Amino acid sequence: MYNLFNDEPTINRGGFNIPQLDFVRRGLDRELYKIQTYYRERGFAVRSDHLIVRLLNTLSLQFGYDVDIYYDNVVDQAYDISRVFKLTSPLSVGEPFSGRFYGKGYTEVMVSVIEDVDPLKAVDNWENLEPIRVIRHPQYSVLLNPLQPSKNPGNGGLVVMLIDIPLLALQYRGWRRHRDKTTPTGEPLRTVMQFVAGYVLPNMLGSHMDIAMLNRMNAALDGYDIPKEETWFPFMTVSYHDKIDRELVKLNELLLKNTTDFVGMLKNIPTFYSDNMLQAIRLPSIPPTRQVVWGLVLARLPVIAFLLRHAAVAKHYRNRNALNEIRRSLVQLGSDKTIQYALPSYLYAETVDYIDTRIAAYL
């Protein structure tokens, strides 16, 4: 099921026009810019033993090379470094991490990928690159609180992230060159710890927010009331909590009346930072080896549960191929013990229950 929803729909029906969600999107874009600027200008730093700091310090980075040679050099190292740091990749099952990004109680699966990028164009846009993209998390928060383990809300759960090590190295190269050019003579140079705190982590917030929208839509479909949360910034931020939830109820109603297939439905769902939900959940084209598929399947489960619930309520029957693919994947999951061995026992039990009650029950 990991390979579902990676293609554009064959018939483009256009997205829903929901003016108030467009208003929220513009507002959240302003809030994100304000928060990213705050973290970049203040010089905050992560700890020197942060996973991303250690990874960058381990890479052999040749800053004197042309950018395309520099990039190719990192591509050659990426999957070997992934194995060293126990990331999941096409060559290594890896291991889940405990709260490195989201904090206590969260189990984090980091899937190492290599996207198809033009290094020359990417390095020119280094400030806005997203080398780490969140594709599953359990939170509902839309407050844009940066991902700091000591302050992150929620009760724990499973997180799946994609990390593009060559793209990370390109962003780091762009930042270092900018730092070297703009630091006044006599002042200390900012560190790799400040780079991670100022750019890598804040730039994850866009993808985090898009998945939060999917979680809120699931909650709205279930009739679950999402509690309000407090922001902890030392400056005023705007909360769109109530407005978002009112509009998501309307969006769910529109989706229940819509007769498009799953891919078309995802393209119809607006998100906060991606063009639509189909783009927000997309997976890169990587070899579908046993070592990596388990992590990608985990990322897909909430999306599939949402779509199946909608199809059942609306009595849509246009997704026969997708449903057959999901059934085949569940059979394969039952015979492959990779997820069972990779996850903590309690989280594996929760995953099995989730599949039984929210996916298999609707097939």
Give, for all 363 residues of the chain, the pLDDT tens digit.
677 777 665 555 555 667 788 888 888 888 888 888 888 888 889 999 999 999 999 999 999 999 999 999 999 999 999 999 999 999 999 999 998 998 888 999 999 999 999 999 999 999 999 999 999 999 888 776 666 665 665 678 899 999 999 999 999 999 999 999 999 999 999 999 999 999 999 999 999 999 999 998 888 888 788 877 776 677 777 788 888 888 888 888 888 887 778 888 888 888 888 988 999 998 888 888 989 999 999 999 999 999 998 888 777 667 788 888 888 888 888 787 888 888 888 889 999 999 999 999 988
146, 202 contact by CB (below 8 A): yes
Give the whole-angstrom CA distance, residue 142 versus residue 209.
Answer: 6
Strands (E), 9-149: 97-98, 106-113, 132-136
Per-residue HEC secondary structure of 128-186 comes to HCCCEEEEECCCCCCCCCCCCCCCCCCCCEEEEEEEEHHHHHHHHHHHHHHHHHHCCCC
188, 251 contact by CB (below 8 A): no
The predicted model scores a pTM of 0.92
Q: Which phi-psi region, left, alpha or beta, contains residue 103 (left: φ > 0; alpha: ψ -120 to 50)?
A: left
214, 221 contact by CB (below 8 A): no
